[in-house]
Amino acid sequence: MLFNSIDFAIFLPIVFLLFWFVAQRSIKWQNLLLLTASYVFYGWWDWRFLSLLAFSSVVDYFVGGMLHREENGRKRKVLFVTSMGVNLALLGFFKYFNFFADSFVHAFSFFGQEFSARRLNIILPVGISFYTFQSMSYAIDIYRRKLTPTNDLIAFLAFVSFFPQLVAGPIERASHLLPQFFKPKTISYQMMSGGLKIMLLGFFMKVVVADRVALYVDAVYNNVGLHTGWSYMLATFFFAFQIYGDFAGYSLIAIGTARLFGFDLMQNFNRPYFSASFREFWGRWHISLSTWFRDYLYIPLGGSRGSKARTYSNLFTTFLVSGLWHGANWTFVMWGAIHGTYQVVERLAQELNFPRLPKWLSIPLVFVGACLAWVFFRAATVQDAFHIVGAIFINPGHGIHVGDIGIMAFSLAGVFLLLGIEIAVEYFPNVSLLHHRWAPVRFATILAMLVWIITLGVFDGSQFIYFQF
């Protein structure tokens, strides 16, 4: 079920009314309602994949309990490996089987050997990377003795499948979200108002910005070889705001929806395009994933505790794996490798005491570097990505393929309006029009955003980009 669909517009009020006015007297009934609603929400795409979600959740629930009770170190390791093995096996089979099979065949072909491998007609379950990582973190934290498991199966299943953030995050930690399923909740105007305002901004970023610029981005990136370098530059610039508006918009809708039910989800984006370094960029972009990889991969690898060479290797490996997490395609691996290289070079420059650039120069440089990496993220193949990069830097051509002037104008208007909102929040945090102390200002802002959404929004039922991961 998509947030930007009629189905969700009907689904959400029904669940909201049942949660607050039918099941409000019992936390257990509220959790059971949320669990049922979440499985309906997820099963709307394909009910067959509910078994995967339930299976991985139940395994981690029971393994978590046994890990907590078991004192024998060897047995604890066996239980831990069982949990990790089940989750990674499901993720690996459904997401990466064909990728590794094809890569294996291509590797043999490179050396002149003919080899064939059978491809499977596998449908990728929506959001499997997100709920798998959320469930895995529960078992990992229990194994590390940093978390006490719950004895409430319904609450745990609701935690893993919580529908606002189930398919595209934020990837929540059990230590933050799970206790909220045991706290009594009270409906209030401030809670509903705050949640709806966050959702409004999320829908604006999705349908006015992301889906509008996608029209130009798709026209260019889906027809590689027919455009000039200047057109690729503009399409890449637009894609930077498409993926930001799409993913940050989803996160805001998820956070706002959760707030309607009295839940607090972590912030997932913090205006990343105002970053003055790539390290800062990853402290602002997809925060739940970057902190997950930091805590569960980078630090266990050794972090920065070893030699400089080992630190660089750990950094690069973390971003390489992060790229592969995003998708079973070498384009994502290249994207991760580019960001890993950025991190290593930046760390090396810092250790060599290179002078820091002023923000007016470093912020646009980081944005340009991020856009260069986005070329590989968006391109269909690595070959297409190199063609686009070559066209931009070597043969830019003599002009931009504009296409529909109206699409271009509306796309630019949406991007610059979002930039204006972001600049205001970044540099004038006390000036918040959506939360202004004067009611007329708040009302005018909400009305203006609704008008923009209705008149300039694209309502074609397009799914969110990160659903494919």
Alpha-carbon distance of 173 to 179, in angstroms, equals: 10
In a domain, 332, yes or no: no
Tokens of 430: 């006390």
Residues 105, 159 within the same domain = yes
Q: What is the pLDDT of residue 225?
A: 82
Q: Which residues of 423-459 are buried (b: 16+ CB within 10 A; e: fewer)?
A: eebeeeeeeebbeeeeeeebeebeeebeebbeebbbe
In a domain, 395, yes or no: yes
Tokens of 129: 């990377």
Q: Residue 432, by phi and psi: left (phi above 0), alpha (psi -120 to 50) or beta?
A: beta
State the residue range of the domain holding 253.
190-276+357-456
pTM, two decimals, is 0.91
Of the candidates 154, 187, 220, which is a domain's last residue? 187
Least Cα distance to 329 among 167, 127, 106, 85 occurs for 106
What is the rounded average pLDDT of the residues 339-350?
Answer: 94
In a domain, 468, yes or no: no
Residues 198, 159 within the same domain = no
Residues 367, 221 within the same domain = yes
In a domain, 351, yes or no: no
Of the candidates 139, 157, 187, which is a domain's last residue? 187
182-235 tens-digit pLDDT? 999 989 998 999 999 999 999 999 999 999 899 899 989 998 888 888 889 999
In a domain, 338, yes or no: no
Alpha-carbon distance of 157 to 176, in angstroms, equals: 15
246-279 tens-digit pLDDT? 999 999 999 999 999 999 999 999 999 999 999 9
In a domain, 368, yes or no: yes
Three-state DSSP class for residue 277: coil
Residues 130, 200 within the same domain = no
Residues 71, 209 within the same domain = no
Q: How sure is the predictor about 124, in pLDDT bands with cuts at 50, 70 and 90?
A: low
pLDDT at 455 over 90: no
**Contact status, residue 177 vs residue 163, Cβ threshold 8 Å:** no
- List active site positions: 326
Alpha-carbon distance of 294 to 297, in angstroms, equals: 6
Give me the number of domains the chain comprises.
Answer: 2
**Contact status, residue 446 vs residue 200, Cβ threshold 8 Å:** yes
352-400 tens-digit pLDDT? 888 889 999 999 999 999 999 999 999 999 999 999 999 999 887 776 7
Residues 61, 203 within the same domain = no
One-letter amino acid of 328: A
Residues 15, 104 within the same domain = yes
Residues 205, 253 within the same domain = yes
Report the length, in residues, of the chain.
469
* Minimum mean pLDDT range among 38-47, 87-96, 225-234: 87-96
Number of H helices, E strands in the chain: 19, 0
Residues 120, 19 within the same domain = yes
Residues 224, 136 within the same domain = no
Burial of 466 (0-12, 13-18, 19+ CB in 10 A): buried
Residues 43, 91 within the same domain = yes
Helical axes 153-161 vs 128-143, angle rounded to 10°: 130
Query: What phi and psi values does residue 119 have, to the nearest 5 degrees?
Result: -90, 145
Of the candidates 160, 187, 214, which is a domain's last residue? 187
Alpha-carbon distance of 255 to 195, in angstroms, equals: 7
Residues 110, 153 within the same domain = yes
Alpha-carbon distance of 390 to 383, in angstroms, equals: 11
292-303 tens-digit pLDDT? 999 999 999 998
In a domain, 415, yes or no: yes
